[in-house]
Chains A and B, each alone.
Chain A
């Protein structure tokens, strides 16, 4: 049972104490999901190869392929053979040419590592410095000026210092392969490190949110986010809320199936309540101890199997029981409880007049209508004219969006909207959330623009700087390298022997025939 981790997971800003963090940049809930899926180990295995995804990793991987694999398929290519009538000398020449050409690959790979890896490594760091240092970033476009945020390199250095001071050590990867203790220490270190980074980032978002609430502006050094970009950010956020509302809507098919199931449940309410009494729901909910839970799971399974046996084969309740038995053991008791809760909810939605299929269908459609109404209002709340967006209108738009997202407390038709934090009964809380979401949207925008600039720079540097250097270096190094280390392949050895011949010497000296 993951109760301990759930507890720690949902403690806001719990900092270094958080658990189950194996993946950088993941939210606490995402980490919980990752830890609970059957393919966790396979994904972790793939994750361990992810370092190859970076620029350096990519270059090394390509270099490995170029340097170690490709030469074999060039040098010993079975499709290139000397013709049948070729002399031994000619056959030897073809073999030499293949080997000579194949040797170009490892040399090319070595040079790629030397020039490309060394340059690429500094592009990200360099850009990071440019856009976080106000002396340079203030000359950049507003959406590239990241001076309000700390550089990730600076944050990492700061957190590394904190974690080290807290007495945590990070053993090497190789050490962690052979020692369980080292593996544990490494995991603890990574968890603490990621939590520290998250805490700093969260604090900055909160600080900017506070500023936005006070001033209606997003501060960027001495400047503020321009109204056109601000409009873009706000409207994109409203689109996200619209998406949430759309996701909650039920299709005609879903409504039909809900009604069918509701009829089955309501008709058998008393019977289900009676037979489910035996299932240890409360006991299962009361503990988090796996040792206590395991026998409870077994007990639930025995009871459910027994109920299936006792129930007449043509009984509609068989369907419900089998569905519950098909679930993983840890979810069965929970499903029993939710099935009974669902019956109450269906009745509640139909009101005092009680359940009928029509009434329930109407209630479900009513929910869709409420959502349609919210979607319509959200669309209309979008900023139409960026030139009219100022600090006052920013507050107005955000308040309006929060009002639209508000739902009436105690209204059953509105209950479904509480399945997302986008909608809720407390409008003030929603308003705070919208402010924060707008700031997060702004952060998302500048991150994407930074990515755009990074890609652009890497292509430009690659084409204009590293590529010509690597090509020229290869052109210079390759023949010389071959002459020195593989003279028999390059023909230098043969030419040395022939150097007594003045005609041959002339050829060599002019470099035309080596």
Chain B
């Protein structure tokens, strides 16, 4: 029981901290924006989320890959170069698609679903609702009137629901599947080869060049030489663990 109580207490403490955080200026500011224009605020949140999450994620992946000794050195730069190009292109693709969808999905929806939602369809639907309402009131006079302005508002809401679903499906098909997973990797991979070449040129310039994806291939004898050089470098290492390893080798 004591354990449960401690968990409960911890949960309450976290919950209270979260609750208190709603008084922060940053959140109050965000609240105001969501209240005044929800769609615009969601849009801004999406863009910020992409920039922050994918931006930081990309930076972390690149740094970690570059410094990950478990990844073969021959492949390390290409892996991190791909992380970089993939990350940058992904951010660009997502933000681009987000704005493109905002701009084009509405007109596309209106074109594809005109039979249901154009001005004629709306006028017919409003007439139909009024007629159904009148018929219903003949059966039950206590029912409220079906009012044109309100029906019109409801019709627009249904259109918004349809349009929102269309935007989501179009976005999923075009951006999430095709854009982000087909086009981006297709461009990112050759771009990564170029970045890798750049890395080889500008980073660790003293190191021997390794075969790169752009064809910067050096003779294998040079690679062998680099291994010897590398071994020689370890001899001067100050790392105790390395010294023990070297002793073991000897």
Question: Using a CB–CB distance below 8 Å, which chain A residues touch chain B?
Answer: 1-3, 6-7, 9-11, 23, 26-27, 29-30, 32-34, 36-40, 42-43, 46-47, 49-50, 52-53, 61-62, 65-66, 69-70, 73-74, 77, 79-80, 82-83, 86, 89-90, 93-94, 96-98, 100-101, 104, 126-127, 129-131, 133, 135-141, 143-144, 232, 244, 247-248, 285-286, 288, 327-328, 330-331, 334-335, 338, 418-422, 445, 448-449, 451-453, 455-459, 462-463, 467-468, 470-472, 474-475, 478-480, 483, 490-491, 502-507, 509-514
Measured CA separation A328–B180 after assembly (Å): 44
Contact in complex: A459, B149 (CB < 8 Å): no
Measured CA separation A65–B35 after assembly (Å): 34
For A247, the chain B residues whose CB sits under 8 A away are: 149, 152
B103 within 8 A of A: no
Give min CB distance, A194 to chain B, whole Å.
Answer: 14
- Count of A-B contacts with CB under 8 A? 327
Question: Known contacts being A29-B154, A491-B74, is A133 close to B15, with CB within 8 Å?
Answer: yes
For B23, the chain A residues whose CB sits under 8 A away are: 140-141
Closest to B132 in A: A6
Measured CA separation A97–B151 after assembly (Å): 61
Which size class do B's interface residues fall under?
35 or more
Question: Known contacts being A7-B140, A30-B154, A97-B213, is A445 close to B35, with CB within 8 Å?
Answer: yes
Measured CA separation A144–B162 after assembly (Å): 30
B residues 3-43 touching A (CB-CB < 8 Å): 12, 15-16, 18-20, 22-23, 26-28, 30-31, 33-35, 38, 41-42
B165 within 8 A of A: yes
Measured CA separation A74–B215 after assembly (Å): 17
Q: Is the interface of A mostly helix, strand, loop or mixed?
A: helix
Question: Known contacts being A136-B15, A136-B18, A448-B38, is A97 close to B30, with CB within 8 Å?
Answer: no
Q: Is the interface of B mostly helix, strand, loop or mixed?
A: helix
B residues 43-88 touching A (CB-CB < 8 Å): 45, 48-49, 52-53, 56-57, 60-61, 64-65, 68-75, 78-79, 82
Contact in complex: A7, B136 (CB < 8 Å): yes
B111 within 8 A of A: no
Please provide the 6 A-B residue pairs with the shortest distance between their CB atoms, ordered closest to farther.
Answer: A83-B215, A479-B70, A65-B181, A136-B15, A140-B19, A73-B185
Contact in complex: A65, B161 (CB < 8 Å): no
Contact in complex: B71, A459 (CB < 8 Å): no
For B71, the chain A residues whose CB sits under 8 A away are: 478-479, 514
B residues 215-250 touching A (CB-CB < 8 Å): 215, 217, 220, 227-228, 230-231, 234, 242, 245-246, 248-249
Give min CB distance, B163 to chain A, whole Å.
Answer: 10
For A418, the chain B residues whose CB sits under 8 A away are: 145, 147
Give min CB distance, B109 to chain A, whole Å.
Answer: 10
Closest to A42 in B: B113
- In the complex, which of the residues A39, A53, A89, A331 contacts B127, with contact meaning CB atoms closer than 8 Å? A331
Question: Known contacts being A50-B165, A90-B211, A452-B31, is A97 close to B74, with CB within 8 Å?
Answer: yes
Give min CB distance, B242 to chain A, whole Å.
Answer: 6
B193 within 8 A of A: yes
* Additional A-B contacts beyond A30-B161, A144-B19 (11; CB < 8 A): A9-B136, A34-B161, A49-B169, A80-B193, A90-B211, A331-B124, A455-B45, A459-B48, A463-B56, A505-B249, A506-B246
Contact in complex: A70, B181 (CB < 8 Å): yes
